[in-house]
């Protein structure tokens, strides 16, 4: 599935979010994790929400996940944005209720709650945008 | 603290006003604000000079697609008043109701006697200038803050986010569009009796089911409509409220909470919102129970907010709300819990929470006309998708 048009508007990188948006450069989904208690936190915050200490470091996760809930967008919000696409909350297996929002690279009718997915990355400028595709599908841009 | 010392027990609502709704309006946002404010002041039986506090939700925002085009200073100058205290509430507070809570605190502390609270939106006109102005996308080259986790994925609208809640709610509780659609159908039925509603022609469930899909499972009729308009109310100290025009309305209890949804941080499994904490707070502050609630004005920026809020504020049990609303009988004017009697935001237009409070007061003062709930003594009103406010209002 090609990226919907118009081009994606990219995120600003901050000291807290940079690892998440650039980990794909080395093929890793990086989620900040407390070096003390092991707690993951996303979206990232400077302090561990449990320890309240500055002990959060980007840590690679498995890249696997489960579609917790999703929506198929139909509305053309911007000119040229005509194609239906799936926006989802993916729950990572590393911690309960640890969610990453993303697009699912699959035909909308194939997506369902509980669906296992795997991360892949779309590189634009200095961002490697984490996207997810159904588990056990080849990582090709036109898989959908 | 003794319950009778709670701040909300010191406050009364003494007047309400609402401008004419427009899509777009031919009056400026400041004119609409003054329309609502002067109406509320007159409704209370006050003179303009008796207003000694002024707040709104939220402060003036010159960009942002008309989300808040008029601030307290504009209004103060235009009214020619010299309040001892002005301060708008923040989008980071407990939802749209934050300004009302501030007004309650201002009178409870003795700082003010009569606080004018308003909420003005100019989104219909803003969208004429730029259709994208009300999206999350923003005008900067890169997107930051919480929106950075949505917009790069072409989730440009809060509709995309709340669709996630609707899908999860449907999946967990085995309900669907045939149930959710009744929120919209009920709103339109009520709006037929509201002369200031933006949409007044009744719709059927079939109309709902055949309406355009926005972001599954949310359809056109699941989304509220941008309008130009303003709502105002007067929050008075109980001692200053006694001899005014209207029987003062008591704020029996209030509840407030905030969460992380706007920042991309979600609690739970997308079938409940952090408004639960506002509900718990509210019920700890009163001896009344949900059986005492005569009608409910429940925030409906999107239809799915209604079941989420009804359950969060404890009027219905988790998973029960859409079955309760289905068919429309139990939420009708003569039902167990008359719901969104102005038409809500879905049909009356996005007065952004304040239409709900306006309607709650109107019902308790018996001015509902064709949509009056018979002998309404208490009304629950709740606002917010990202921050949460709830009040249980009652006649005195």
Along the 396 residues of chain B, how does pLDDT read in single tens digits?
899 999 999 999 999 999 999 999 999 999 999 999 999 999 999 999 999 999 999 889 887 789 999 999 999 999 999 999 999 999 889 999 999 999 999 999 999 999 999 999 999 998 888 877 778 877 788 999 999 999 999 999 999 999 999 999 999 999 999 999 999 999 999 999 999 999 999 999 999 999 999 999 999 999 999 999 999 999 999 999 999 999 999 999 999 999 999 889 999 999 999 999 999 999 999 999 999 999 999 999 999 999 999 999 999 999 999 999 999 999 999 999 999 999 999 999 999 999 999 999 999 999 999 999 999 999 999 999 999 999 999 999
- The ranges of chain B annotated as CATH 3.40.47.10 are 3-129+226-240, 158-224+249-395
Confidence (pLDDT) at A140 = 56
Considering the domain boundaries, does residue A6 fall inside one?
Answer: no
Selecting from B143, B165, B171 the residue whose C-beta is nearest the C-beta of A9 gives: B143
Confidence (pLDDT) at A136 = 80
Does the pLDDT of residue A142 top 90, yes or no? Answer: no
Domain B3-129+226-240: give its CATH superfamily.
Answer: Thiolase/Chalcone synthase (3.40.47.10)
Query: Domain range spanning residue A25?
Result: 18-134
Confidence (pLDDT) at A6 = 79
Note the CATH architecture for domain B158-224+249-395.
3-Layer(aba) Sandwich (3.40)
Considering the domain boundaries, does residue A30 fall inside one?
Answer: yes
Q: How far is A136 from chain B (nearest CA, A)?
A: 22
Confidence (pLDDT) at A139 = 65
Instruction: Answer whether B167 touches A (CB < 8 Å).
Output: yes
Residues in chain B: 396
Considering the domain boundaries, does residue A82 fall inside one?
Answer: yes
Considering the domain boundaries, does residue A58 fall inside one?
Answer: yes
CB within 8 Å: A71 and B217: yes
CB within 8 Å: A11 and B150: no
Query: What does the alpha-carbon distance between residue B253 and residue B378 come to, in Å, rounded to a whole number?
Result: 11
Residue to test with chain B: of A32, A77, A96, most B Cβ within 10 A: A77
Look at the alpha carbons of B256, A16, B149, A98 in this order and tell me if their dihedral is positive or negative.
Answer: negative
Considering the domain boundaries, does residue A80 fall inside one?
Answer: yes
Considering the domain boundaries, does residue A52 fall inside one?
Answer: yes
Considering the domain boundaries, does residue A4 fall inside one?
Answer: no
For chain A, the domain total comes to 1
Would you call B299 exposed, middle or buried from its count of C-beta atoms within 10 A (0-12, 13-18, 19+)? Answer: buried
Q: Beta strand B218-219 with B295-298: parallel, antiparallel or unpaired?
A: unpaired
pTM above 0.80, yes or no: yes
**ipTM, two decimals:** 0.94
Residue to test with chain B: of A5, A45, A71, most B Cβ within 10 A: A71
Burial B319-329 (b: 16+ CB within 10 A, else e): bebbbbbbbee
Residue to test with chain A: of B134, B154, B211, B272, most A Cβ within 10 A: B154
Nearest to B369, CA basis, from B245, B194, B198 = B194
Nearest to B352, CA basis, from B261, B225, B260 = B225
B-facing residues of A in 91-110 (CB < 8 A) are: 97, 99, 101-103, 108
E-assigned strands of B218-269?
A: 218-219, 228-237, 249-258
Does the pLDDT of residue A143 top 70, yes or no? Answer: no
Q: How far is B364 from chain A (nearest CA, A)?
A: 39
Helix (H/G/I), strand (E/B), else coil: B390:
strand
Q: Which residue has the higher pLDDT, A137 or B174?
A: B174
Taking only Cα atoms into account, the Rg of chain B, rounded to an integer number of angstroms, comes to: 19
Considering the domain boundaries, does residue A141 fall inside one?
Answer: no
CB within 8 Å: B154 and A103: yes
CB within 8 Å: B150 and A101: yes
């Amino acid at each position: 599935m090609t990226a919907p048009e118009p081009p994606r508007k990219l995120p600003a990188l901050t000291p807290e979010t940079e690892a998440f948006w650039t980990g794909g450069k080395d093929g890793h989904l990086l989620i900040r994790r407390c070096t003390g208690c092991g707690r993951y936190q996303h979206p990232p915050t400077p302090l561990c929400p449990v320890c309240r200490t500055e002990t959060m470091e980007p840590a690679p996760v498995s890249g696997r996940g489960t579609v917790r809930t999703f929506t198929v967008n139909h509305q053309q919000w911007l000119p040229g944005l005509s194609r239906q696409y799936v926006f989802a909350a993916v729950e990572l297996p590393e911690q309960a209720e640890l969610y990453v929002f993303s697009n699912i690279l699959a035909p909308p009718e194939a997506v369902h709650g509980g669906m296992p997915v795997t991360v892949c990355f779309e590189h634009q400028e200095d961002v490697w945008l984490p996207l997810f595709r159904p588990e056990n599908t080849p990582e090709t841009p036109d898989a959908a | 603290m003794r319950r009778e010392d709670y701040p909300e027990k010191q406050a009364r609502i003494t007047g309400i006003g609402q401008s004419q709704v427009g899509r777009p309006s031919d009056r400026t946002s400041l004119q609409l604000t003054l329309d609502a404010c002067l109406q509320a002041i007159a409704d209370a039986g006050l003179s303009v000079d008796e207003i000694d506090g002024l707040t709104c939700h939220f402060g003036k925002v010159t960009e942002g697609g008309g989300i808040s085009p008029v601030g307290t200073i504009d209004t103060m100058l235009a009214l020619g008043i010299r309040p001892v205290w002005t301060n708008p509430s923040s989008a980071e507070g407990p939802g749209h109701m934050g300004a009302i809570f501030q007004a309650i605190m201002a009178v409870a502390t003795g700082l003010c006697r009569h606080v004018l609270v308003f909420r003005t939106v100019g989104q219909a006109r803003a969208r004429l200038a730029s259709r994208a102005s009300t999206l999350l996308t923003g005008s900067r080259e890169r997107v930051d803050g919480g929106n950075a986790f949505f917009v790069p994925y072409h989730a440009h609208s809060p509709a995309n986010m709340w669709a996630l809640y609707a899908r999860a709610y449907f999946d967990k509780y085995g309900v669907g569009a045939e149930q959710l659609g009744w929120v919209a159908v009920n709103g339109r039925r009520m709006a037929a009796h509201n002369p200031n509603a933006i949409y007044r022609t009744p719709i059927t469930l079939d109309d709902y089911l055949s309406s355009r899909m926005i972001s599954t499972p949310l359809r056109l009729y699941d989304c509220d409509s941008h309008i130009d308009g303003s709502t105002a109310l007067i929050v008075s100290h109980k001692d200053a409220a006694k001899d005014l025009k209207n029987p003062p309305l008591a704020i029996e209890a209030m509840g407030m909470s905030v969460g992380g949804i706007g920042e991309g941080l979600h609690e739970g499994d997308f079938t409940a919102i952090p408004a639960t904490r506002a509900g718990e707070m509210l019920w700890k502050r009163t001896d009344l129970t949900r059986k005492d609630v005569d009608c409910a004005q429940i925030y409906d920026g999107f239809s799915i907010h209604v079941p989420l809020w009804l359950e969060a504020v404890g009027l219905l049990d988790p998973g029960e709300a859409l079955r309760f609303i289905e068919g429309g009988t139990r939420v009708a004017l003569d039902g167990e819990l008359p719901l969104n009697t102005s038409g809500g935001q879905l049909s009356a237009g996005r007065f952004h929470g304040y239409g709900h409070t306006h309607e709650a007061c109107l019902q308790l003062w018996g001015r509902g006309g064709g949509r009056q709930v018979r002998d309404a003594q208490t009304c629950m009103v709740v606002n917010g998708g990202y921050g949460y406010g709830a009040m249980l209002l009652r006649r005195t």
